[in-house]
A and B are shown apart, each in its own frame.
Chain A
Amino acid sequence: TQLLEQSPQFLSIQEGENLTVYCNSSSVFSSLQWYRQEPGEGPVLLVTVVTGGEVKKLKRLTFQFGDARKDSSLHITAAQPGDTGLYLCAGAGSNYQLIWGAGTKLIIKP
């Protein structure tokens, strides 16, 4: 069974600080997606990483896929209150299914 462990589960920091969220697995994924979910809404795709070692940037968010395609990280620089939300990673596993992390609830305090 493929599992995706996401950490930390909860993070509350001050505006302007940096943070990193991790997704780790013992399984290899063909790709990995990151989503952000705000209260009362569905998850929204932020990025998909496909190649081992790939780094993608979305403004102050930096996403990295591990060389072995077993792990990924999301780094936010100078966090803003608008970054508050639930961040979810999802790895594309076998049988076309997405394997989901448990989510990281991020609160950025002004």
Chain B
Amino acid sequence: DTAVSQTPKYLVTQMGNDKSIKCEQNLGHDTMYWYKQDSKKFLKIMFSYNNKELIINETVPNRFSPKSPDKAHLNLHINSLELGDSAVYFCASSQGPGRTGELFFGEGSRLTVL
């Protein structure tokens, strides 16, 4: 069983469209994250939820909206896609938001905006 699974793995779309990426974890973790990895491979946190509550909300355009229906799921919706949104988006989970929280990542969703 995949611990952290996200779909779709690949997403190619036109500028201006709206798209969603879904994530599910079966590890029983309380905390989930969305990260963006750019072409230079730098990982940047976007959002974090702990037990469905938003605890980290970095400087991200309002076009990005996370939703956590329960603590095992964290989805990411992106409105009005722009060229600069092209990147790999990783979902991750950890036992808690504590300082030694070790992350388990999904395989990533590669978004290409044309």
A interface residues with partner B (beta carbon < 8 Å): 30-31, 33, 35, 37, 40-45, 48, 50, 86, 88, 90, 92-93, 95-98, 100, 102-103, 105
Contact surface of B with A, Cβ cutoff 8 Å: 4, 40-45, 48, 55-56, 90, 92, 97-108
Q: Shortest beta-carbon distance, B86 to chain A, in Å?
A: 16
* B100–A42 touching, CB < 8 Å: no
A40 touches B102 (CB 8 A): no
B interface, over-half SS: loop
**Which residue of chain A is the closest to B42 with respect to CB atoms?**
A102
Query: Smallest Cβ distance from A66 to chain B, in angstroms?
Result: 17
With A43-B103, A43-B105 known as contacts, the answer to whether A103 contacts B42 (CB < 8 A) is yes
Among candidates A31, A42, A98, A103, residue contacting B41 with C-beta atoms closer than 8 Å: A103
Q: Which residues of B contact A103 (CB under 8 A)?
A: 41-43
Residues of B within 8 A of A45 (CB): 102-104
- B56's partner among A30, A88, A97 (CB-CB below 8 A) is A97
Most buried by B among A30, A40, A42, A95: A42
